Amino acid sequence: MSEREKVIAVKYGDHQAFVELYNDYWGQVYDFSRLYISRVADAEEIVQDVFVKLWESRHLLKEDESFKGFLFIITRNIVFSRNRKKVNENLFKTSVLSAFGNESNYNSNSVEEEYCASQLAVFIDKLIGSLPEQQKRCFLLSREENLSYKEIAERLGISPKTVEIHMGKALKFLKNSIERGWEILLSLLSF
């Protein structure tokens, strides 16, 4: 499957294509993160955050635009938000090409890595499914249909402020649950 086909498949929720993209790019995301993050565990967490964000924003993927560029923007934003005070913006700009221009083959056939990526995608879907109904509706309308809070409010017959509250609670729940779930998954795989 070509990268373009994988991107289209991920956009429509294909877990296997997500696993393949994860396998194709985790190394580049990790290497880029390590340019600015000294601790291995923090860089690994950034990789996790990047692919969670990718899965959550898969509806924004465009088949005619660079997937690598999209992934880079997510990675950059997460690194910046983590180390806003520490990151030297000039170093960041000059390092971009070397980090993502490296065409080393990071494809991995590790069953463990594929399992982690697959389980992460399934876990995210289950978490979204477990949200209270109104939070789930707001979240899905925002993330899958790309509606604004105002449009969601009109569709559901609630105020935009209520939508904002539901989204805040949903995102907080998902972030906390994903962090806890990822720690559990990694600890199980380490035995």
The verdict on pTM exceeding 0.75 is no
- Cα–Cα distance between 69 and 74 in angstroms, integer? 9
118: in domain: no
Helices (H) and strands (E) in the chain, counts: 9, 0
- The pLDDT tens digits of the residues spanning 48-99 come to 999 999 999 998 888 888 888 888 888 888 887 776 544 333 343 334 333 3
- Please give the span between the terminal C-alpha atoms of the chain, in angstroms, as a whole number: 33
Range of the domain at 26: 3-101
Question: Is 168 part of any domain?
Answer: yes
Domain count, the chain: 2
Separation between Cα atoms, residue 117 and residue 80, nearest integer Å: 24
**Residues with Cβ < 8 Å from 31, sequence gap 6 or more?**
99, 102
CA 147 to chain centre: 19
CATH number, domain of 157, equals 1.10.10.10
What single letter denotes the amino acid at residue 51? F
